[in-house]
Amino acid sequence: MKEGLTKQAYRGFFWQAIGSGFQSVIQIGVLVLLARLIAPDEFGVAQSALIVVGFANLLSQMGVGPAIVQRSELTENHIRAGSTLSLILGITLGLAVYFGASLISLFFKMPNLFPVLQLVSVIFVLESITIISQSLLQREMKLKALVIADLISYSVGYGLVAIVLGLYGYGVWALIWGVIAQAVVKNIVVLIMKPHSLIPFFGQREIKELLYFGGGFTIARFFNYLANQGDNIIAGRYLGADALGIYSRAYTIMVKPVSLIGTALDKVLFPAMASRQNQPDKLIEAFINGSKLIAFLCIPITFVIIFSSNEIIHVLLGEEWVEAIVPLQILTAGLIFRMGYKMGDILSKATGNVYSRAKRNVFYAICVLIGCYIGTHWGILGVSLGTLLAIMVNYILMIHLSLSILKINWLYFLKRTFIELPITLLLAVIFIAIIFLARLIITSDILILLAAYGVYGVICLILLYFFWEKLSFIKLLPIKGVFKKMLRNYK
């Protein structure tokens, strides 16, 4: 990549990571409050509704947004055609969910899901309005604007509305109105940041060009979403709303690091790699360095969550959620595989290999559904294990696709990606020692977490301060300049 593009990409990563970090903190705070205001079965009903919303959203957008980001040549007609197509699809899917709510509630065996789905169907129209604005901001790598929009919409929309309604005893409706309020606020903020023409345009050439990439992208994303939500679908269908509520809270906590790192990498590397899709050497370096960063971060995070899961559940959710501890540990064991395959997703999108990606996602979805169905015989623990095994299979599939695109072999990939493995394992062992020592000295769960995370954070900063130059990928990150300045002052 050119130096200017590299700086722009990692500046974007910095903003996205910081923004995702702030949003994760806010989300955890909201989760702590809502877990004490709303029962597990009501979380299960809301989660079932959001699964349906997610599926329908994939069809309502038809990959138009990513097609806008990926196109090397983009005209005003493409933008108008994409906006028109998104709105039509959003209205169509909204009506389909509204009138199909009774059938969906029968599938989940949740009668109280019916009115929830009818209300939540309005989200399709709301989100179809801003998909083009969001995609244009990502294409231009104005990620700071997207971060601000996400923070404002979640905090003011979902967080404030859901908590206030939860306090007044609205239960599942507090969660659903929070989601709707979040979509409304995001619409307003994004359209102010990136307005575009809303005049309808039905150009056949432009629509065909957008749908060619968007169709393959949607197929891949549909089955990827089916795989990601397959565990929730099986748990809700065969184990009930209460079990789904417990499982989904464990999943939500586990997925925070994925959202923090994965979202930042996707929003930055997708447009950056797409702009250099015909330069294989640059793509190889971007892919390897992204994979190194994921491995370096995920291995210590995995050990941190697994070995402090007891305190995490007690502090964040409360005593009535103790059944979520072991599922959280099992799901977290697959964190590096869940994060690792996202680099394959990014590369396949950037290079236009969306149909090859789609084939693998079909197999991934089948693995999740079969594995979780078999796992229901052992409750949510079995569902968690089924999910973990499917994630490992998908990691192998997506890395194999990536290596085929880049024309490199597994040995080269593994040697370069896990070159810092001894350091990451050392960081993991340090945390295990700290958390066990904290439990010997302290009895309060929240104080154990604060002490262990605080001490561990300080130790990591000290080690990074003195040994950051030994990390092969660190030179690409914005933090490099900060450490150079610190070292000069120290000397």
pLDDT of residue 184 exceeding 70: yes
User: Can you give the pLDDT at residue 396?
Assistant: 94
CB atoms under 10 Å from CB of 204, counted, come to: 8
The answer to whether the CB of 207 falls within 8 A of the CB of 62 is no
Q: Give the confidence band of 269 by pLDDT, cuts at 50, 70, 90.
A: confident
> What pLDDT, on the 0 to 100 scale, is given for residue 452?
94
Question: In sequence order, what E strands does 292-410 have?
Answer: none
Which pLDDT does position 327 carry in this prediction? Answer: 95
The residue type found at 292 is K
Q: C-alpha angle 261/28/343, rounded to 5°?
A: 15
For residues 59 and 217, what is the distance between their CA atoms, to the nearest angstrom? 11
The pLDDT of residue 433 is above 90? yes
Taking the C-alpha atoms of residue 319 and residue 308, their distance in angstroms, rounded to an integer, is 15
What is the average pLDDT across 468-475?
61
Neighbours of 466 (CB within 10 A): 12
The pLDDT score that the predictor gives to residue 486 is 41
Distance of CA 154 to the CA centre of its chain: 15
pLDDT band at 57 (very low <50, low <70, confident <90, very high): low
Beta carbons within 8 Å of 318's beta carbon, 6+ residues apart = 35, 36
Structure-model confidence comparison of residues 211 and 346, the more confident one: 346
Return d(Cα 135, Cα 137) in angstroms, integer: 5
Kindly give the interhelix angle for 204-239 and 101-108, rounded to the nearest 10 degrees: 40
Task: Return the pLDDT at 402.
Answer: 92
pLDDT at 325 over 60: yes
pLDDT confidence bin for 445, thresholds 50/70/90: very high
- Mean pLDDT of the 282-293 span: 85
More confident residue, 451 or 278: 451
Q: What is the mean predicted confidence (pLDDT) over 398-407?
A: 92
What local confidence, expressed as pLDDT, does residue 220 receive? 73
Interhelix angle 204-239/335-350, rounded to 10 degrees, is: 160
Q: Does 140 or 153 have the greater pLDDT score?
A: 153
| Residue of 355, 401, 394, 85 whose CA lies nearest to 217 | 355
- pTM here is 0.70
Q: Is the pLDDT of residue 413 over 80?
A: yes
Sequence-distant (≥ 6) Cβ neighbours of residue 328 within 8 angstroms: 250, 253, 254, 305, 309, 312, 313
| Cα–Cα distance list, 393 to 140, 301, 368, 411, 418 (Å) | 34, 21, 10, 18, 19
The packing angle between helices 76-99 and 113-120, to 10°, is 160
CA-CA distance, 277 to 192, in Å (whole number)?
Answer: 31
Which one-letter DSSP state was computed for residue 470? G
**3 state SS of 113:** helix
Nearby residues of 172 by Cβ (< 8 Å), 6 or more positions away: 38, 42, 43, 45, 46, 112, 116
CB of 319 closer than 8 Å to CB of 35? no
Residue 405 · residue 348 · CB < 8 Å: yes
Pairwise CA distance, residues 343 & 398, whole Å: 8
Q: Give the separation between CA 349 and CA 272, rounded to whole angstroms.
A: 11
Contacts of 25 (CB under 8 A, 6+ apart): none
Q: Both tokens of residue 403?
A: 């290596």
**Nearest partner of 468 among 489, 486, 491, judged by Cα:** 486
Taking residues 226-240, report their average pLDDT.
Answer: 86
Give the range with max mean pLDDT: 1-5, 46-50, 329-333. Answer: 329-333
Is the predicted pLDDT of residue 143 greater than 90, yes or no? no
User: Percentage of the chain with pLDDT > 70?
Assistant: 84
